[in-house]
Amino acid sequence: MFSSYRSVSSAFMSLSIVVTMFEDEAPVAWIAMPYRATVVAADGSEIGTAESLLGDENEDIFHGIVVKRREGGKLVEIPAERIKKITDKHVVTDLTGDQVSTLQPYRESHWFHIGWGGLFRKHPEWDKTSRT
């Protein structure tokens, strides 16, 4: 049990350090996330680039992002609850290296164009009852 506490404590400290690393960058709302922003793990390592937003712009429901992995170039989903800060240059997550390797592949759904050059995607099963 103690080792479990230590790993949780260590992960929290890593996240605090990473969030602090980007404190000079202006935080932005999810809808203003820069296209192809660098996405980082809790330890500051690069996961990949943000390729698309997942959510409902009209209802202001943010579900996460689609990331093109740095290693291998595969598209994966990162849920909103794992994203801790979005700045004008980076997306900071609380993911550890082990968790990054187990991210779910992106599932294609409906596409909606959004002004920053990427695509805004909305899963048909998302509705007002699934807000995060």
Between the CA atoms of 97, 131, 25 and 49, what dihedral angle is there, to the nearest 10 degrees? 50
The strand pairing partners of 77, in sequence order, are 66
Query: What are the mean pLDDT values of the chain's consecutive 10-residue runs (132 residues total)?
Result: 45 55 87 94 93 85 92 92 94 92 79 47 52 50
Q: Quote the CA–CA distance of 111 and 23 in Å, as a whole number.
A: 32
For residue 107, give every residue at least 6 positions away whose Cβ sits within 8 Å of its Cβ, in sequence order, or none: 77, 123
- Predicted TM-score (pTM) of the model is 0.71
Measured in whole angstroms, how far is the alpha carbon of residue 131 from the centre of its chain?
Answer: 16
Q: Which of 44, 39, 36, 35 is nearest to 16 (CA)?
A: 44
